[in-house]
Chains A and B, each alone.
Chain A
Amino acid sequence: MKVLVGVKRVLDPQVKARVKADGSGMDLTNAKMSMNPFDENAVEEALRLKEAGVVDEIVTVSVGPVKAQDSLRQSLAMGADRSIHILTENELEPLAIAKILKTQVEKEAPGLVLVGKQAIDDDSNQTGQMLSALLDWSQSTFTSKLELTKESATTTREIDGGLETITIKMPAVITVDLRLNEPRYATLPNVMKARQKPMEKIKLEDLSLDVSARLTILETRESETRSAGVIVNNVAELVDKLKNEAGVI
């Protein structure tokens, strides 16, 4: 079985996000960027399925600027077989990304698509569900455990109340949670090897898709920050403040 994995390049999770002073968007100049953490889990899961003999080829796909190729190279260094880069300078909405990924699914005919449960920049949590809908495939979101056969997958999903297990028909789109696995680091020799692996480059325009924005961003602003309060010296003081100053207990 072939697996397609969606990979997005985002602001590194350790970096504090900053808004441009004029409120026109995020300030990402010179900021450290990384592969979306959930997508590392998705790539890792594909690798494990390949190591288990269930999967024979792993193709990673990223939609974004030229720099998105960094994240694809990382996926190749982790062990993916080849990559597809869809070039666009525009920030696209999840519906547009899903439509673009669909074209690659139709071209590659994978038996499974793995994506992250959410991109940590837009925090949308939509692309996998949307892609699954457009393909009329089954879906499993927030997946923290996955058992795969040719016809079906049994997945454990992290839901608000605990855990849910479902069985889905293949082919399927599975969105992965952080606890699915522990992503491996790319070793130096593998980083070198990754440079030789194939990377197909496609211009978004050449896909002739309607990816027009449905949402207009009117303003981006920093959310209100809290300021540090006081340091109390002991439990008695804390309890007193909570009772008599804050009135919360």
Chain B
Amino acid sequence: MTILVIAEHNNNTLAPASLNCMSAALQLAQQADCAIDILVAGNDCDEVLQSCSKINGVSRVLSANSDSLKHHLAENMADQVVTLASGYSHVLAPATTFGKNFMPRAAALLDVAQISEISAVVSSDTFIRPIYAGNALVKLQSSDSVKMITVRTTAFESAETGQGSATIEEIEAVADCGLSEFVQQLISESERPELTSAKIIISGGRGLKNGQNFDLLYAVADKLSAAVGASRAAVDAGYVPNDYQVGQTGKVVAPDLYIAVGISGAIQHLAGMKDSKVIVAINTDSEAPIFQVADYGLVADLFDILPELSEALG
């Protein structure tokens, strides 16, 4: 039995989500007493390969290096995973838009189930995952020969790196199946920390009233070295880009501190942030559901509070 982890990366750097996924793999490896290989599928990923070889607990880094894998198109990625899967007991990828795109496709080609977004490993065939926007947790047991799993990154610590010395092996990359073609990516550039790995997040909702007012939030964010998030309402209204969205259908985050500003606290928003260690809510409506999950609530107008907060944080 060996576990295969699919590394998420952009051909240059390894995504932090890969390390969370690796943690889940390490827990599994302990349960099942087996080794872990990592697949780096991409084009000219030397640095990524080096990073992977240093992760503690990895045996082999498999490099599938080809233009066909450069943009991680789902069809080619799934084909690549399928060529390897029969040699593995488990295949793990992070439950990010990267992993969610090709893992179910690969699972269907292998005629096995996919287990989405596990939040805990119980044993080598039993896992826990959230359903109904995280309101319930199911414990489920898989009878498939290869267990295809995506990992909720906030539920697992980052695996340690530095002590590993895995071998790097070239494997044959799949040919482009020609079904889809990459056109472009518009990646939001930001000096601030990335949402899913930030220690502190401050998020704004419809209460901010427009995009300009997010400047008030950015001022506080910068004092705290925080990432900035948003509710769906704020994204839909065009205040901020889609990749800011926290929630059932956006990103799931679990920072040490989450500050919700002008956000009512709909079930779908809570689904994305209720595992944060400390939650602060700032809202004029004392009845807003966000206060039911907040450790510290401030019933006040955000337009007064944000400048004061920025000031107080010096």
Q: What's the count of A-B pairs with C-beta under 8 Å? A: 250
Once the chains are docked, how many angstroms separate the CA of A23 from the CA of B108? Answer: 30
- Please give the distance in Å from A35's CB to the nearest CB on chain B: 16
Q: Determine whether B175 belongs to the interface, using a CB cutoff of 8 Å to chain A.
A: no
Q: Determine whether B142 belongs to the interface, using a CB cutoff of 8 Å to chain A.
A: yes
Once the chains are docked, how many angstroms separate the CA of A1 from the CA of B33? Answer: 53
Determine the main DSSP class of A at the interface with B.
mixed
Q: Determine whether A209 belongs to the interface, using a CB cutoff of 8 Å to chain B.
A: no
Q: By CB atoms of chain B within 10 A, which of A217, A235, A242, A249 has the most?
A: A235
The proximity string for B residues 251-266 relative to A, scoring 1 for CB distances below 8 Å and 0 otherwise, is 1000011000000000
Known: A98-B108, A166-B73. A230 touches B296 (CB 8 A): yes
A-facing residues in B257-314 (Cβ within 8 Å):
257, 267-268, 274, 277-280, 286, 291-300, 305, 308-309, 312-313
User: Which residues of chain A are within 8 angstroms of B184 by Cβ–Cβ distance?
Assistant: 164-165
Contact B200–A160 (Cβ < 8 Å)? no
Contact A166–B200 (Cβ < 8 Å)? no
Known: A134-B108, A235-B309, A242-B257. A163 touches B242 (CB 8 A): yes
Contact B274–A226 (Cβ < 8 Å)? yes
B-facing residues in A45-66 (Cβ within 8 Å):
none
**Interface stretch (choices B34-42, B128-136, B162-170):** B128-136
Q: Determine whether A223 belongs to the interface, using a CB cutoff of 8 Å to chain B.
A: yes
Contact A222–B180 (Cβ < 8 Å)? no
The proximity string for A residues 26-45 relative to B, scoring 1 for CB distances below 8 Å and 0 otherwise, is 10000000000000000000
User: Which residues of chain A are within 8 angstroms of B112 by Cβ–Cβ distance?
Assistant: 95, 214
Q: Determine whether B1 belongs to the interface, using a CB cutoff of 8 Å to chain A.
A: no
Contact B279–A226 (Cβ < 8 Å)? yes
Known: A26-B136, A124-B116, A129-B104. A138 touches B179 (CB 8 A): yes
- Please give the distance in Å from A101's CB to the nearest CB on chain B: 11
**Interface stretch (choices B23-31, B94-102, B205-213):** B94-102
Contact A167–B183 (Cβ < 8 Å)? yes
Partner of A242, one of B138, B236, B278, B300: B278
- Please give the distance in Å from A15's CB to the nearest CB on chain B: 9
Contact B185–A159 (Cβ < 8 Å)? yes
User: Which residues of chain A are within 8 angstroms of B298 by Cβ–Cβ distance?
Assistant: 231-232, 234-235, 238
Interface size class of B (residues with CB under 8 A): 35 or more
User: Which residues of chain A are within 8 angstroms of B117 by Cβ–Cβ distance?
Assistant: 123
Once the chains are docked, how many angstroms separate the CA of A108 from the CA of B94? Answer: 35
Partner of B183, one of A131, A165, A221, A249: A165
Q: Determine whether A205 belongs to the interface, using a CB cutoff of 8 Å to chain B.
A: no
Once the chains are docked, how many angstroms separate the CA of A29 from the CA of B228? Answer: 40
- Please give the distance in Å from A145's CB to the nearest CB on chain B: 11
Contact A161–B139 (Cβ < 8 Å)? no
Once the chains are docked, how many angstroms separate the CA of A125 from the CA of B129? Answer: 13
The proximity string for A residues 110-144 relative to B, scoring 1 for CB distances below 8 Å and 0 otherwise, is 00000001101111111101111110011111101
User: Which residues of chain A are within 8 angstroms of B182 by Cβ–Cβ distance?
Assistant: 164, 166
Contact A220–B105 (Cβ < 8 Å)? no
Report the nearest B residue to A248, measured CB to CB: B257
A-facing residues in B75-96 (Cβ within 8 Å):
75, 78, 96
Once the chains are docked, how many angstroms separate the CA of A1 from the CA of B236? Answer: 31
Q: Determine whether A192 belongs to the interface, using a CB cutoff of 8 Å to chain B.
A: no
- Please give the distance in Å from A121's CB to the nearest CB on chain B: 6
Contact A26–B141 (Cβ < 8 Å)? no
- Please give the distance in Å from B119's CB to the nearest CB on chain A: 9
Partner of A217, one of B139, B249, B286: B139
Once the chains are docked, how many angstroms separate the CA of A163 from the CA of B186? Answer: 5
Contact B113–A95 (Cβ < 8 Å)? yes
Q: Determine whether A178 belongs to the interface, using a CB cutoff of 8 Å to chain B.
A: yes
Once the chains are docked, how many angstroms separate the CA of A215 from the CA of B313? Answer: 50
Contact B132–A121 (Cβ < 8 Å)? yes
Q: Determine whether A162 belongs to the interface, using a CB cutoff of 8 Å to chain B.
A: yes
The proximity string for A residues 212-240 relative to B, scoring 1 for CB distances below 8 Å and 0 otherwise, is 00111111111100111111101110110
User: Which residues of chain B are within 8 angstroms of A133 by Cβ–Cβ distance?
Assistant: 78, 104-106, 108-109
Q: Determine whether A109 belongs to the interface, using a CB cutoff of 8 Å to chain B.
A: no
| Known pairs A95-B113, A129-B105 / 4 extra A-B pairs, C-beta < 8 Å | A123-B248, A160-B251, A230-B296, A231-B286
Chain A residues within CB distance 8 Å of chain B: 11, 13-14, 16-17, 19, 26, 93-95, 98, 117-118, 120-127, 129-134, 137-142, 144, 154, 157-169, 177-179, 214-223, 226-232, 234-236, 238-239, 241-242, 246, 248-249
Give 15 A-B contacts (CB < 8 Å), ordered by A residue: A11-B132, A14-B267, A16-B267, A17-B136, A19-B135, A161-B185, A164-B184, A165-B184, A169-B179, A214-B143, A221-B136, A229-B294, A230-B295, A242-B257, A246-B295
In the A-B complex, the 6 residue pairs with the smallest Cβ-Cβ separation, listed nearest first, are A229-B295, A130-B108, A17-B132, A126-B104, A138-B179, A214-B113
